[in-house]
Amino acid sequence: MGSTNFSEYSGPNLREEYLNTRRGDLTTYAGMIGEGFSSTLNRLAQLIGNAHEPSLGAYKERLLMNLIRDFVPKRYEVGTGFVLFPSEYGKIPDENVPWNLHKYKVSKQLDIIVYDSFNYPIIFKDGDFVIVRPEAVCSIVEVKGALDTKQITSFMDLFIDFARKWVETDLYYRKNRLTPLGYPKLLVMNWLVAVDSKGKPRSNGRLLRKKIAEEYRKNISPEEIRSARYPLLRTAYIYNDCYVCSSLYSPDEEKTYAGYWTLRGKFIQYNDKTGEPILGPDKTVSDLLSEIQDSLDTPKNRIFSNVDQVGWPGDFPHRDDGFDACFTGADLMASSTDD
């Protein structure tokens, strides 16, 4: 039997790993949230492999749902299901109250809904499955397993459908002197990037950004954007890699564009000994939780919600760094009908 030469072992430095777990900073803690989540998913994947992808997908949704539930105040709940949108019934006799004769539309099924159950009664609830009114909605999170162009088109179709129903109901509420709707956060978490038969990635941060911008340019007119409160996708994440977020870009003083920017999905930390910046743990899960918190009617403390050790993420750009425009600044200017 051959002997093992332990001097040639090139595994992790256990002392460095031990010290890293005891750095005593919020950045490391936030990164461990995402890494711990991934570890649980990987353990399940090791057992079932590709035997039943729908089961693994449902488990990912439930795991993320429970994680979000642990981090939001108790006045908010987290479920899966639908949003019911009241809409006008057409011509209504003058002697009748319009909201007693309205019809309604229903959103497509939503993976994760973060909603306010303290101020707004739930329409239907059975365990985690819910149907809620639009004014109760704070955030919507779609969860995707292996990202490719088909998956991008799928969640963009869902969000565009959701936004149009949201706008229609908002206008209906205003017409009937009800409280206007706000702006829910629309988010997507992609756990992996799909690969082809040769192992080549079918998507990346650049393609994700370009496809989102393309879908909005193709399906939403500037007039539609200006006409009402149109909720747009806020952020799409590729776990432990990057995220694509809505942003404004001004190449000069005269032009402003609204679109999407690809940013790194890992924290930047500073080496305790050298002071040099190093690429740290996953940032995407922590940022998702921060975006959800930002959608809630609660005070936000950036010391706890934004724990990166650098300011603007563009200081350490992702390999797919870049911006793609959907609309000009003028396209997004609210019209006088919003007042």
Report whether 127 contacts 173 (CB < 8 A): no
Altogether, the residues listed in the chain come to a count of 339
The answer on pLDDT for 145 being more than 70 is yes
**Global pTM value:** 0.84
Q: Name the residue among 267, 244, 241 with its Cα closest to residue 323.
A: 244
Q: What is the pLDDT of residues 191-247, one digit of tens each?
A: 888 888 888 999 999 999 999 999 999 999 888 877 667 899 999 999 999 999 998
Q: Phi/psi of residue 79, each to 5°?
A: -150, -170
Residue with tokens 């803690």: 29
Q: Report CA torsion sign: 232, 235, 238, 241.
A: positive
Q: Which residues have C-beta within 8 Å of that of residue 241, sequence separation ≥ 6?
A: 193, 205, 265, 266, 284, 318
Q: Band the pLDDT of 146: cuts 50, 70, 90.
A: confident
What 8-state DSSP symbol labels residue 313? Answer: G
Per-residue pLDDT band at 251 (split at 50, 70, 90): confident
**Look-up of token digits 């006799």:** 93
